[in-house]
Every structure is written in C-alpha cells, then in structure tokens.
Amino acid sequence: MLFREYSFLDRFDRAAEAGFEGVEFFFPYGHDPADISAAISRNNLTLVLFNLPVGDFDSGERGFVAVPERAEEFRSGVSDGVRYGKSLSPQKINTPSGPAPDSAASLDVLVENIDFATVELERIGVGMVIEPINQSDVPGALISTTPRAAELVERVGRPNLGIQYDVYHSAMAGEDPVQILGDHLDLIHHIQVGDVPGRHQPGTGALDFDRIVATVDKHDYDGWVSLEYHPEGATEDSFDYFRDRGLLT
C-alpha cells in the first residue's frame, strides 16, 4: 500500500532508502520469485509477510477460507504460498477469512483449512497468521473482530498460528486498540497500523497512537509493526509521526 508511485520491484529500493529494514506486500504470485528475492537481497531487507491467494482481488474478492465449495481452491493456494515461501523465506504468511455465513459449518471449514495451511507452512519454517477484517470494508467477513480471531487460533491450537492485528480494522470494528492489545498480545504475531477514519498515516485521524505504541512496548511485543495505510500525499512524506518519535530513522 506504500510507494505505489513506483513499480512493484522498485518499491523495495524506495523502502530501504526511507530507512525500513523489513517489508511486506499483498501478493508475490504475479512476479518471478527470483526477481523479488534479488530486490530483497540487494537492499538487505527482511521479508516479513505476504498473503495467501484470496481469489480475484482486483474484482473485490477478499478470501474464501470458510466456503466449503472452495476448499480445494484454498488448498491449491496454500501450495502456491508454500512454493513462493520456499523461495522467498517470509517470516509469516497471512490470510483473512473472507465472507461466509456465520454458521457452525462455515467455522468448521475455516478451522480445517487454517489447520491445513498452518501445518504446511510449518514444514518450511514459516509462521501462519489470520487477519480479522472489519465488516464495513468486507461485508460478511466471518472473522471480523480480534476476540473471534483469538477463539479461532485457540481452537486450532497450533503454536505456529497467530493473529495479524491491524489497528485500522480493529478500530473500524468498534474495538479499543489499547484494550485489545492488552488482552490479546500473547496471540498477536504481527501488527499493522493505519489511522481512522480514512486509513491514512498516524496523525491524520482520531486514534491515539502514542498510547498504542506505549501499550505494545509495555507488553514486550517482539514482532514486527508494519505500516499499512493509504498515504495522504506522497509516501515519503507520510512518515513524520514515526520519524518524530525515533521509530524510523
């Protein structure tokens, strides 16, 4: 979502020039893994995360993990994730649940598919995370709140599985990020930030990011915090909050 002024492979160079040591992106699947690996290596970056396939993203699909009729398609996507994971060595691979009826059958399929993906990724030394997405952005999303994601992680019960916690989605779902982080940070394996409303950089909306950062520090979180927002203005001009506090040099 950052550096979209540049082509995909050029964004790695721009991220390194801006002072970042790690990167994540939505999907690698339209690119040669050797080209992505070269862009990461030449900039001495850590690849933190990318997503499993979620369907036709450009047409608005945002996942189908809990849809019984698409279980085979999901598992094929896991194979793609494993193939790229072997080449790129991300620390984690993520998926949202996508929309599905809120039923026991949907939850059973979701648990089965997430368990399958977690085991397959564990074989190659990659962590798995599930991301709650608010229902304003993805109507009908089955896993749309952090507590529900925590229930799923605990039900699957594999240590390689955690929550990808997006502050923007949490706030849009009506949650208090400070409370949520205090209650669930033991299950949160990755954090993303964006302000509300608008999903722009911190400081453009209503969220108190100083309290959010202090809460993360207080609980000794040792994972990555990534910037996932639509920059208001040029990407390079959207980092003032982080630079002013010494979080990005």
Active site residues: 131, 228
Judged by DSSP in three states, 129 sits in strand
58 class by beta-carbon count within 10 Å (0-12 exposed, 13-18 middle, 19+ buried): exposed
132 Cβ neighbours under 8 A, 6+ residues apart: 96, 97, 141, 143, 144, 145, 146, 148, 149, 163, 165, 166, 169, 170, 173
Q: Which of 23, 20, 84 is closest to 52 using CA atoms?
A: 84
Q: At what angle do helices 71-88 and 33-42 cross, to 10 degrees?
A: 40
Q: Quick one: which of 81, 8, 73 has its CA closest to 50?
A: 81
Q: 130, 153 in Cβ contact below 8 A?
A: yes
Contact at 8 Å (CB) between 117 and 152?
no
The length of the chain is 249
**Sequence-separated (6 or more) residues with CB below 8 Å from residue 148:** 132
HSE, CB side, 13 Å, CA atoms: give it for residue 232: 14
